[in-house]
Structure 1
Amino acid sequence: MRITFLGNGDSMGTPRVYCDCVVCEEARTTGANRRLRPSVLLEEEDQAPLLLDCGPDWREQMEARGMRSVSQALITHAHFDHIGGLTEWADACRWQERSGKLYAPREVIGEIEARFPWIGKQLSMIANDEGMTYGGWRIVPWRVNHGKNGYSYAYRFENRQGRGDWAYCSDAIQLTGEQKAPLFGLSLLVLGTSFAVEPFAMETRSVYDVSEGLELARETKPERTIFTHLSHDIDVRKDYGLPSNVALAASGLSLSL
């Protein structure tokens, strides 16, 4: 499987329109810190590409890769930064006279249908609570704490040949022992970490910070960890003292498992 990060930013992206911090100003000029909302493209031999989340930067992400269509997507939760592009995708399906397939847990599908009651005309909603397959992979969702923002779902991708399992957990904080269990035994963990060290009270937060992400990685011991969902607090020009097997996601970063 090839994994490509189309977006590695938090819910507001970087730069933030109202902000003149050094990170946002750098993002406006040289652009090293420019970040679109979080989305990943999954590609498997003999399979149509699978989009992981479809946020409001979907059009720009598709144009950047020269893609004119996508036939299927996997959704983690129904917050705007993860589903804001569904309306454009559905409209593209309408013009191309095709139907897209949207996979998500039942409660996520319910929220999507409540927000966009017409979208089912172009996107077939398929509940994946019991898991699903994609090529040689078994994809298993589980519900995780999203702090003040309620809940999200993470996905574990299990290689049916018994090697290279990985997980995508973009929006989570204060995971319980049960919620951490699927994060053990991984080749790769993709984890959301918005700040280096978030200074705000825990009851106001919704995503791990880098320091907490490193602690979680030390506990679960994946072979490799990628931090995504990065806010304008993260400056890629800084050295955060990350271990050699931990890195910050970058737009366009592509790796294979």
Structure 2
Amino acid sequence: MRITFLGNGDSMGTPRVYCNCSVCEEARTSGGNIRLRSSLWLEEEGQPPLLLDCGPDWRAQMELLGIRQCQLGLMTHAHFDHIGGLTEWADACRWRLETADIHAPRDVLNDIRARFPWIERQLTMIPNDDGMSYGSWRITPWKVNHGKNGFSYAYLFENEVTGVKWAYCSDSISLTDGQKAPLAGLALMVLGTSYVEEQYPMDTRSVYDMKEGLQLADEVKPNSVIFTHLSHDVDVNTDYSLPAHVKLASTGMQVHI
């Protein structure tokens, strides 16, 4: 499987319109810190590409890929930064006289229907509460704490031939022991860490910070870690002395599993 990071930003992206911090200003000039909302493009031989989350930067992300068609999607939860591009995707399908399939747990699909009650004319919604197959991979969702924002879903990808596993957990914090269990034995953990070290009270927070992400990685011990869902607190020009197996996601980054 080839994994391409279409976006690595938090809900506001970087630069933030209202902000003049050094990271946002750098993003407006040299651009190293420009961040679109978090999304992945997954490719498996013999299968149509699979879009993981479809935020409001979907159009720009498709243009960066040079892609004119998207047939298959996988959603983690129904917050706008993860589903805001569905209306443009649906409209693209309308113009192409086609439909596409969206997979997500049933409660996520119900939230999408409530927000966009017309969208099933073009996007067929398929519950995946019991998991789904994608080529040689078994994809299984599990519910995770999303702090003050309620809950999200993470996804475990397990190759049914080789047994290799990786996981995508973009929006979570304070995982319980049960929620951490699927993270054991991973080749790769993609984890959302919005801040380097977030100073706000825990009851106001919704995503791990990098310090906490490193602690989680020490506990579950994946072979490699990529931090995504980064806010304007994170500067790519700063050396955070991360361990060799831990990296920050960047737009266009590709990983092969």
* TM-score class normalised by the smaller sequence: over 0.9
Distance 2:162 2:65 in 1: 31
Q: CA RMSD in A?
A: 0.4
Q: How does 1:107-256 map to 2 (within 5 A)?
A: 107-256=107-256
Distance 2:159 2:46 in 1: 16
1:99 correspondence with 2:115: no
Q: How does 1:53-64 map to 2 (within 5 A)?
A: 53-64=53-64
Distance 1:103 1:46 in 2: 19
2:22 is aligned to 22
Q: How does 1:84-95 map to 2 (within 5 A)?
A: 84-95=84-95
Deviation of 1:153 after TM superposition, in Å, equals: 0.1
Q: Which amino acid aligns with 1:32?
A: G
Distance 1:119 1:102 in 2: 11
1:6 is aligned to 6
Distance 2:150 2:240 in 1: 29
Distance 2:100 2:126 in 1: 11
Distance 1:141 1:40 in 2: 16
1:37 is aligned to 37
Q: Which amino acid aligns with 2:163?
A: R
What stretches of structure 2 of length at least 5 have no aligned partner?
A: none
Paired residues, number: 257
TM-score, normalised on structure 1? 0.99
State the percentage of identical aligned residues: 67
Distance 1:180 1:150 in 2: 17
Residues 70-110 of structure 1: CA distance to partner in whole angstroms, max 9, x if unpaired? Answer: 00100000000000000000000000000110000000000
Deviation of 1:241 after TM superposition, in Å, equals: 1.1
Q: Aligned to 1:189, what secondary structure does the other structure show? A: strand
Deviation of 1:161 after TM superposition, in Å, equals: 1.3
Deviation of 1:38 after TM superposition, in Å, equals: 0.4
Q: Which amino acid aligns with 1:111?
A: D
Q: Aligned to 1:112, what secondary structure does the other structure show? A: helix
Residues 108-136 of structure 1: CA distance to partner in whole angstroms, max 9, x if unpaired? Answer: 00000000000011000000000000011
Q: Which amino acid aligns with 2:179?
A: Q
Q: Which amino acid aligns with 1:204?
A: T
1:82 correspondence with 2:76: no
Deviation of 1:162 after TM superposition, in Å, equals: 3.1
Distance 1:40 1:88 in 2: 17
Residues 236-255 of structure 1: CA distance to partner in whole angstroms, max 9, x if unpaired? Answer: 11111100000000000001
Once superposed, which parts of structure 1, at least 4 consecutive aligned residues long, lie more than 2 Å away? none
Distance 1:162 1:185 in 2: 13
Q: Which amino acid aligns with 1:129?
A: D
Q: Aligned to 1:110, what secondary structure does the other structure show? A: helix
TM-score, normalised on structure 2? 0.99
Q: Aligned to 2:31, what secondary structure does the other structure show? A: coil
